[in-house]
């Protein structure tokens, strides 16, 4: 059984007991979070697709930890103009473990 959820402006395919990196959530580590924006739930040949969301369906997850991704260089450069700007960026994320998928 798997589901497709939307959070942080992105869509993710999740399965029970799987881990997932999502955009930073404002919850403490060890707490439970519920994703209400469920787009699809599939259980074998039985597939339910929302238009756009499945009402009453939820995906429950436990927050494992918060962290930062790898460092990504950001370079702005214009040739022959003496223009060069170099910065770095590290995206923050929340690691969650999917505990339950409830279909309506």
Q: Give the DSSP per-residue string, 20-49.
A: EEEE--SS-TT-EEEE--EEEEEETTEEEE
* pLDDT at residue 80, rounded to an integer: 97
Neighbours of 20 (CB within 10 A): 20
pLDDT average, residue stretch 37-62: 95
DSSP symbol at 33: E
Q: What number of CA atoms fall less than 13 Å from residue 103's CA on the CB side?
A: 14
pTM of the predicted model as reported, rounded to 2 decimal places: 0.86
pLDDT average, residue stretch 54-71: 97
Mean pLDDT of the chain: 96
Task: Name beta bridge partners: 94.
Answer: 22, 66
d(CA 13, CA 77) in angstroms, rounded, equals: 37
Burial classification of residue 80, based on how many CB atoms lie within 10 Å of its CB (0-12 exposed, 13-18 middle, 19 or more buried): exposed
19-36 pLDDT, tens per residue? 999 999 999 999 999 999
* pLDDT at residue 104, rounded to an integer: 82
The percentage of the chain sitting over the pLDDT mark of 90, rounded to a whole number, equals 99
Which strands make up the sheet holding 58-68, listed edge to edge?
Answer: 19-23, 92-102, 58-68, 32-35
Q: Where are the domains of the chain?
A: 2-66+93-102
The confidence band for 75, taking pLDDT boundaries of 50, 70 and 90, is very high
């Amino acid at each position: 059984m798997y589901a497709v959820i939307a959070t942080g402006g992105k869509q993710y395919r999740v399965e029970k007991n799987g881990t997932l990196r999502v955009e930073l959530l404002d919850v403490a580590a060890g707490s439970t979070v519920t994703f209400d924006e469920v787009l699809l739930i599939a259980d074998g040949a039985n597939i339910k697709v929302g238009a756009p969301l499945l009402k009453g369906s939820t995906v429950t997850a436990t927050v494992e930890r918060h962290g930062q991704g790898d460092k990504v260089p950001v370079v702005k450069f214009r040739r022959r103009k003496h223009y060069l700007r170099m910065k770095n960026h590290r995206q923050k994320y929340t690691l969650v473990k999917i505990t339950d998928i409830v279909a309506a």
